[in-house]
């Protein structure tokens, strides 16, 4: 399984994929089955009349798997294909001395190997689909066949991804708030001769259709049928977390429960008899502490036991919903059991419960059945009976029953601490979310983040700058003059090196974002600003994707999946590019360092603040014009504060650093070389004067001045030579290919005060904002072999066309205009192509208008 397979199960495709897969399975068997390798997995549905096979494994679980195994379809048994029906479906099979018919959709769930055929190969080194009893024994016990597909499922903030990272050694980001994992992550590991395919599914509170995460997780379980579900439960909040467990029980899937953060129960003085609770649920429970990798090996051991059916505590229980509801479930089950289109994929009890809960997706699944009208009529009848009996909505009634079951189980197994102490979270929240101090603390933390990003990043930035400068000097010293040397020194080292020096600033920014996420403050920030967000037409939870946008707009766009309302998601996506991402940071640092060194933190903060203000403005405009709908309620968990784990924070920072460095070696390197080529050619241009002759004369005058030891003349001639060389290079660039491009776009951007070099830089910034710095490094002739390595700030500062006002307007334009291609692609995937094109167009237009106004007002005032 790969990531593309997983992505097909996401979004709002409902059960289209289930239907598509069933159609694929009906297409018959593979023509090349005779040449299958020993490791290939074939299904019973692929064989023709007369074939004899042995069963390797029965896929699926629940009532469907039980029905097949009870009929004798167990591992190692021989099955003979007797004959196909005239219409090729169903198929008659012989097993254990009797004949039985199966639909192809059912036979497709049985993995088999061919054990008898006349086409025996004379070459023992090759396998042609023939296997004897000895080979079968080896096959059944081989390491290659011991593959377990495991899905991690749990509430947000339960430590699910921490456990996943501990098991896989992965670096998926862990945050103490809802919606960190916005897509399924896959990793393969080996544990005690077993190959595990581990899938980290998004955090979800239930398996209904309230949010995309819930739909995604439920469809993944139904479509991909993991062998084992690891249900990660927060031990400090059992009653809420076990609601999801109760839904997994209804689904009749194999579950191992990871009782995570078990140390918090002990520290609070509570007592939980988790073995007794597991016996009541029919699910084995393993205590774990994900942040310390405690219990991880026991958890994987238990997965193996459950997979091999060696755990005696595993049993399927039925949650008792009360006599009236149970009678309704039984009547619906009796009718649903006749529809194998349903029971081949989900438990009939689960389907009946979802119908009584009025689940829209369950109803759409029923539509595919031949007797859909009868099932719907029975559904309406039973819902009416339940609601009349309880005088309440059927969905609410079943939810209350689940929580009643959970409360009863905990009453038998959980003992509250005798003395309830006020949690540290409550003490901290009394200040952090205070009605007076909450907002000043929030603003202060944001300012400190930006101040540290600029101030503390300056020192390592200088170290990297010196190191890359030394590399430039080394290349210049040992390479002969020519185009290749110029390419390496000016294009590659000057372009890429001009961007890589900002790596420390990026890391510091992500450090602060990671700390706010991991501690649980990010959720508090959403709580604090919810009223403001509500006033501008946004949901309070929109704040989290927007804050993530300060790191990168791509995950920010993806994180909008945590918003239940579609209009809220699209609205948040449309304003997320106003959140100044880390890719824009290098540009800010260059211009702030050149023109605003004394007020660097304030100017940097102003960029982020202006972006926030624009986001607020356009959110309000779009809400009134494009998204007139009812407000979604603010429902968001405020998780307990937790101490960040240094290992997790460092991993997060390293992941971001590696992504940044990969970008250096990829898109930015290519862009730097392309910009250099466009600026280097053509070599022959018509200059306004003979620069070579003038330089030669000045060099002769310099030699004469040196011989006379005339310091004034020496300095004068050195200045003349530098000026002539710079003027020649400037004139060459204007006549180069890139100069022509700059002149073509200048009429559009010159009203904003931008010269042709700045215009070209903005064009390349469409690919990625970091490319702007590398482009300017090439265009402003920053030579990596100079003593003052990467002195781009000085080059820009001494440019006649760039003033402090122009520098500020340039940063403003970069803040607002076309985010980058990656963001536009992400928007197209999440919201559709039309919204992606709209985003690209409106941000660029707004950038021009705002920059034009600020530039012209600035001229009048200054």
Q: What is the pLDDT of residues 509-548, one digit of tens each?
A: 778 877 877 777 777 776 776 666 767 667 666 776 777 7
Average pLDDT over residues 822-846: 88
Q: What is the pLDDT of residues 748-804, one digit of tens each?
A: 888 999 988 888 888 878 877 877 887 787 777 665 444 333 467 777 887 778 899
Structure-token pair, residue 203: 């955090």
Higher pLDDT, 456 or 497: 456
Q: How far is CA 857 from CA 390, 743, 837, 860, in A?
A: 68, 25, 31, 5
**CB within 8 Å of 282: residues ≥ 6 apart:** 249, 313, 314, 315, 316, 317
Q: CB of 813 within 8 A of CB of 843? A: no
Distance from CA of residue 552 to its chain's centroid? 11
Per the CB < 8 A criterion, the answer to whether 543 and 526 are in contact is yes
Alpha helices by DSSP H, listed for 750-803, are 756-764, 770-779, 792-797
End-to-end C-alpha distance for the chain, whole angstroms? 62
From CA 159, how far away is CA 12, in angstroms rounded? 26
Which pLDDT score is estimated for 299? 92
Q: What percent of the chain has pLDDT over 70?
A: 79
CA angle at residue 38 from 33 to 41, to 5 degrees? Answer: 60
**b/e map of 684-700 (b: 16 or more CB within 10 Å)?**
eeeeeeebeebbeebee
754, two tokens = 């931008």
* DSSP code at position 491: I
Cis peptide before 442 (omega within 30 of 0): no
Beta bridge partners of 52: 80, 116
Closest CA to 254 of 203, 202, 191, 304: 304
Instruction: Tell me, rounded to whole angstroms, the distance of Cα 193 from its chain centroid.
Output: 31
Residue 854's pLDDT band, with cuts at 50, 70 and 90, is very high
| pLDDT for the residue 40 | 44
Evaluate if residue 354 carries a pLDDT over 80. yes
Task: Specify the pLDDT at position 151.
Answer: 92
* Sign of CA pseudo-dihedral 727, 729, 733, 735: positive
Q: Is 856 exposed, middle or buried (0-12, 13-18, 19+ CB in 10 A)?
A: middle
Report, as an integer, the average pLDDT of 241-266.
88
Q: Which residues are within 8 A (CB) of 414 and not within 5 positions of it... i.e. 6 or more apart?
A: 238, 270, 271, 272, 273, 277
- The average confidence (pLDDT) of the chain is 77
| Sole residue written with tokens 């604090």 | 528
Distances (CA, A) of 260 to 289, 295, 498: 5, 9, 45
Task: Map residue 435 onto helix, strand or coil.
Answer: coil
DSSP 33: G
Q: What is the pLDDT of residues 705-762, one digit of tens each?
A: 888 888 888 888 888 887 777 777 777 777 778 778 878 888 888 899 998 888 888 8
The answer to whether 581 and 769 have CB atoms below 8 angstroms apart is: yes
Tell me phi and psi for residue 177, to 5 degrees. Answer: -165, 170
**For 688-715, what is each residue's pLDDT tens digit?**
788 888 888 888 888 888 888 888 888 8
Q: What is the pLDDT of residue 233?
A: 92
Q: For the chain, give me the number of helices (H) and strands (E)?
A: 40, 14
Between these two residues, 37 and 383, which has the higher pLDDT value? 383
**Residue position matching structure tokens 């076990």:** 242
Question: Where would I find the H helices in 60-132?
Answer: 62-70, 104-107
């Amino acid at each position: 399984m790969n990531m593309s397979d997983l992505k097909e199960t996401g979004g709002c495709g409902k059960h289209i994929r289930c239907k598509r897969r069933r159609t694929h399975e009906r297409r018959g068997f593979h023509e090349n089955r005779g040449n299958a390798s020993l490791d290939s997995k074939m299904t019973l549905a692929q064989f023709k009349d007369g074939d004899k096979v042995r069963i390797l494994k029965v896929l699926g679980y629940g009532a469907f798997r039980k029905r097949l195994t009870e009929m004798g379809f167990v591992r190692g048994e021989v099955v003979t294909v007797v004959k196909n029906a005239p219409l090729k479906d169903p198929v008659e099979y012989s097993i254990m001395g009797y004949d039985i018919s199966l639909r192809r959709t059912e036979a497709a769930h049985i993995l088999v190997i061919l054990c008898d055929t006349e086409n025996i190969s004379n070459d023992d080194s090759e396998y042609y689909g023939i296997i004897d009893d000895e080979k079968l024994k080896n096959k059944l016990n081989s390491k290659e066949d011991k593959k377990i597909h495991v899905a991690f499922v749990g509430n947000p903030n339960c430590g699910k991804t921490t456990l996943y990272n501990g098991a896989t050694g992965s670096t998926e980001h862990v945050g103490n708030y809802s919606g960190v994992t916005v897509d399924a992550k896959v990793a393969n590991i080996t544990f005690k001769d077993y190959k595990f395919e581990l899938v980290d599914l998004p955090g979800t509170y239930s398996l209904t259709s309230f949010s995309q995460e819930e739909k995604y997780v439920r469809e993944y379980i139904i479509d991909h049928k993991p062998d084992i579900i690891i249900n990660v439960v927060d031990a400090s909040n059992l009653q809420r977390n076990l609601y999801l467990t109760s839904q997994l029980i209804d689904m009749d899937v194999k579950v191992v429960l990871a009782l995570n953060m078990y140390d918090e129960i002990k520290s609070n003085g509570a007592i939980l008899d988790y073995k007794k609770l597991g016996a009541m649920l029919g699910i084995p429970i393993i205590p774990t502490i994900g942040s310390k990798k405690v219990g991880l090996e026991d958890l994987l051991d238990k997965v193996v036991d459950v997979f091999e059916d060696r755990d005696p505590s595993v049993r399927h229980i039925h949650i008792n919903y009360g006599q009236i509801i149970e009678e309704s479930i039984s009547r619906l089950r009796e009718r649903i059991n006749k529809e194998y289109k349903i029971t081949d994929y989900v438990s009939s009890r689960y389907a009946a419960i979802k119908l009584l809960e009025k689940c829209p997706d369950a109803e759409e699944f029923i539509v595919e059945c031949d007797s859909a009208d009868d099932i719907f009529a029975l559904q309406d009848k039973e819902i009416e009976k339940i609601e009349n009996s309880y005088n309440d909505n059927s969905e609410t009634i079943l939810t209350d029953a689940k929580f009643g079951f959970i409360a009863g189980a905990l009453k038998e197994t959980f003992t509250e601490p005798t003395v309830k102490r006020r949690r540290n979270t409550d003490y901290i929240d009394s200040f952090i979310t205070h009605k007076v101090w909450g907002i000043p603390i929030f603003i202060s933390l944001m300012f400190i983040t930006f101040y540290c990003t600029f101030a503390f990043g300056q020192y390592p930035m200088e170290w990297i700058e010196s190191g890359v400068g030394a590399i430039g000097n080394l290349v210049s010293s040992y390479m002969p003059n020519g185009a290749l040397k110029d390419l390496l020194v000016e294009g590659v080292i000057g372009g890429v090196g001009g961007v890589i020096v900002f790596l420390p600033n990026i890391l510091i920014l992500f450090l602060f974002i990671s700390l706010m996420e991991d501690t649980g403050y990010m959720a508090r920030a959403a709580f604090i600003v919810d009223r403001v967000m509500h006033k501008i037409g946004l949901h309070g939870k929109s704040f989290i994707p927007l804050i993530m946008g300060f790191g990168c707009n791509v995950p920010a766009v993806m994180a909008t999946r945590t918003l239940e309302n579609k209009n809220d998601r699209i609205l948040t996506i449309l304003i997320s590019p106003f959140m100044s991402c880390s890719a824009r940071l290098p540009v800010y640092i260059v211009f702030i360092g050149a023109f605003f060194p004394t007020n660097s933190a304030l100017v940097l903060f102003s960029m982020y603040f202006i972006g926030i203000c624009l986001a607020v403005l356009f959110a309000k405009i779009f809400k009134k014009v494009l998204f007139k709908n009812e407000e979604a309620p603010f429902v968001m968990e405020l998780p307990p504060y937790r101490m960040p784990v240094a290992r997790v924070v460092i991993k997060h920072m390293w992941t971001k650093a590696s992504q940044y460095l990969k970008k250096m070696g990829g898109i930015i390197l290519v862009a730097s070389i392309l910009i250099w080529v466009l600026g280097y050619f053509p070599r022959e241009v018509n200059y306004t004067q003979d620069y070579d002759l003038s330089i030669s004369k000045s060099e002769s005058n310099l030699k004469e001045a040196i011989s006379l030891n005339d310091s004034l003349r020496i300095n004068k001639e050195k200045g003349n030579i530098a000026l002539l060389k710079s003027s020649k290079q400037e004139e060459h660039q204007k006549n180069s290919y890139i100069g022509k491009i700059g002149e073509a776009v200048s009429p559009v951007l010159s009203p904003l005060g931008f010269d042709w070099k700045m215009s070209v830089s903005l064009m390349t910034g469409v690919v990625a904002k970091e490319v702007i710095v590398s482009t300017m490094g090439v265009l402003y002739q920053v030579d990596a072999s100079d003593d003052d390595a990467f002195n781009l700030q000085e080059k820009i500062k001494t440019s006649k066309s760039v003033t402090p006002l122009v520098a500020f307007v340039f940063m403003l334009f970069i803040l607002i205009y076309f985010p980058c291609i990656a963001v536009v692609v992400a928007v197209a995937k999440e919201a559709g192509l039309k919204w992606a094109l709209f985003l690209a167009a409106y941000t660029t237009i707004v950038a021009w208008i705002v920059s034009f106004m600020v530039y012209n007002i600035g001229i009048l005032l200054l």
